[in-house]
Amino acid sequence: MPRKLLKKYLPSHATVSENRHIARFGSLLTHHNLWHLHRRSVAGGVAAGMFAGLIPGSNPVQFTAAALLAVGFRVNLPIAVIVTLYSNPFTIVPLYYLAFKLGQLVVMDSSATMPDLAFHLEGKGFREWLPAALEWLTSVGKPLLIGLPLLAVLLAAISYPLVRVGWRCYVIQAWRRRKMRPAKAA
């Protein structure tokens, strides 16, 4: 069912191959794994998206990183780009806090504290927001700098086998349901 739903909205291989904008890249973007929905390609796309979703920056930066990872590893490109949306304004603070704590654990420095983001951004206009956010990022220092890529790798490494196992369980359940259906009279 999920595969059929996704296939409905994703472009076909022929559509992608014939697109004039994609044709500029030659065979780079026409590899079948970039657009097909199968267990390995989707699991790799989810892992690439999970990794790229923690790259600091806005969505276009994360989308580009996910697309480059998908092309490099030849996994599903649309899935990789869509999965980066797990890091959004509602989830980014808990994710960065988790990365900070993970970095503290690796560095073995529990004395460092995470400064409050709200105080750094309070009362700032749009032009002042980015420098204030960068100042906050530099003030958290080494634990976040180490914890962020470590958390990205950890999320990617966990998501890949989870998607593969989930896909396999879904297929087994579908086979069992199909087997349990009464045979149609000829």
Asked whether residue 107 is domain-assigned, the answer is yes
pTM: predicted TM-score of the whole model, two decimal places: 0.76
Q: Which domain holds residue 100?
A: 2-180
DSSP 8-state class, residue 58: -
What is the C-alpha to C-alpha distance for residues 15 and 32, in angstroms, rounded to an integer? 12
Structurally, the chain folds into a number of domains equal to 1
Asked whether residue 186 is domain-assigned, the answer is no
Asked whether residue 185 is domain-assigned, the answer is no
What's the whole-number mean pLDDT along residues 88-108?
Answer: 88
% pLDDT > 70, the chain: 71
What is the C-alpha to C-alpha distance for residues 56 and 39, in angstroms, rounded to an integer? 29
Q: Which of 110-124, 132-146, 170-184 is the least confident region?
A: 110-124
